[in-house]
Structure 1
Amino acid sequence: MTAPTPTPTPPPPYGYVSPIPVRRAHLGDALASEWTKIRSVRSTVWTLGTMVLLMLAIGLGVAAIASGEGGNMGEESALPLGFFGMLPASICVITLGVLTISSEYGTGMIRTTLTACPSRARVLTAKAIVFFLLVFTVTLVVAFVVATAQVAMVEAAEPTGAEWARATVGAAGFLALLGLLSMAVGALVRHSAGAITVMIGVLLLPLVAGMFMFASALSGLREALFTYAVPSQMIALYSAEPPFSDSGPAGWEALFILMGITAVALGGAYALLNSRDV
């Protein structure tokens, strides 16, 4: 008597084939995920909304005061007045940059993120690209509106094309890079309050420390702190000549300095993200 032929066992999962096509994930998937995250949390709306409000209110307010007092800036353009709104707006960008990554460590969401995308470098790259483009775009639009209004309201010299570029594209790039530096610090510290405190110190401590260096032996250090502090770099961005000393940065040099510092911080964030557990 011939034994019955056994029925072949279907391969796992028991013959079911998903209708969803299976493919390898790529950077575009990580970008889509990070864009969904950053636009769906309230911190983005609050921080960017406050940044826009500060840039508009302070920028237009300073222009109105300068115009109302009958001030004439002579051969200078009115575009450097944008610094007054850019400085407080940087605090909002710093906060958002830190929260972009540190909030995931606080809630434990980073484990889910790295499970869905095991490539940690890809995750950090996607966060950096999405954050930079978002802040750069929003700041560029607001900076252009404020600069246009200031030129129209204040009696001053007609800005050159280079001055327009620095006051709009340069200012947007500077704030976006400052936020990117904050995100790198958030990845290094992994704690929202701690990373924000570090970045506030980076923003304000050099100027505060320089004010108390009265000794003549510290004059060189005091001058360096005043020249290369972040607020001083913001002022230098609007000027084609060094505003503080003959050897200090001016114009696009301030942006390049911040770009180099941000690149170093991001390099450290990449290295520690791959070497530390979550």
Structure 2
Amino acid sequence: MKIAVLGAAGQLGRDLCPRLAALGEVVPLSRAEIDLARPGTIAPAIADLRPDIFVNCAAYNLVDKAETEPEAAFAVNTWGVRELATACRTANAKLVHFSTDYVFGLDAARTAPLNEDASPGPVSVYGLSKLTGEFVVRAAAPGNLVIRTCGLYGVWGSGGKGGNFVETMLRIAKQGKPLRVVNDQYCTPSYTADVADATVQLLERNATGLFHVTNSGACTWYQLAAEIFRQSGLHADLTPITSAEFGARAQRPPYSELSTAKLTAHGIPTPRPWSEALAAYLNERQARNS
């Protein structure tokens, strides 16, 4: 079995590739091989590769910037994904596509985990572009798999320019700068290693359709920051603020905890609680940097 992975050098891709190797030959791909923003690169590359499974970890994920350049977000997350889904269908390849909890948010009074049947309602351009990307993947072939996840962080983001929320908090705290972190947005920060493990198990079961894959439980970004510092033994000048006070250009979902009940119904254990996953991340990060 040949499995192509686009975005293989990203946080999720770097954790996925070694785990997917248990299923067959893994072909890591970067934007140099396939650029979703340039549709003409897609079909020829897939026709040449002829993969059995194509995993798409690539996306336009500049959430705030998308509000002023929606064409760029839709070019990658919708139109590029549509071309990818069409090319995979032509090559008879299963497409595995990652989406986001940002497809929700319109139901501001929500306080219960969202399952796969919950009506989406994006509140940002980014969220809308990802939702339409989901639709085109699922419409292209019934055997395709869409995985929604949330708040990803992985050790491959502990360096480089991309980083992740955990690394940002640690860096600023060590600089002694004050931190003002939003305390009215609830979600589930998820460790890429755990998301990768569940993804492989879904493929082993030949799962299709839509699944939510996150760690378990929920917290605000402020609560996550506080736990990062507690587990790291760092003292930080940390203050909770509201989303309105933070003033981000793009609106975020006020509550977007995703239910993983469908995952467990397919015999895949619910990924560990987010605080336990964070501890594992910090340990792995320390081991890599020592």
Give the TM-score of the pair, scaled to structure 1.
Answer: 0.26
More helix by share: 1
Higher relative contact order (CA 8 A, sep 6+): 1
Bigger-Rg structure (1/2): 1
Question: By percentage of residues, which structure has more strand?
Answer: 2
TM-score if structure 2 supplies the norm length?
0.25
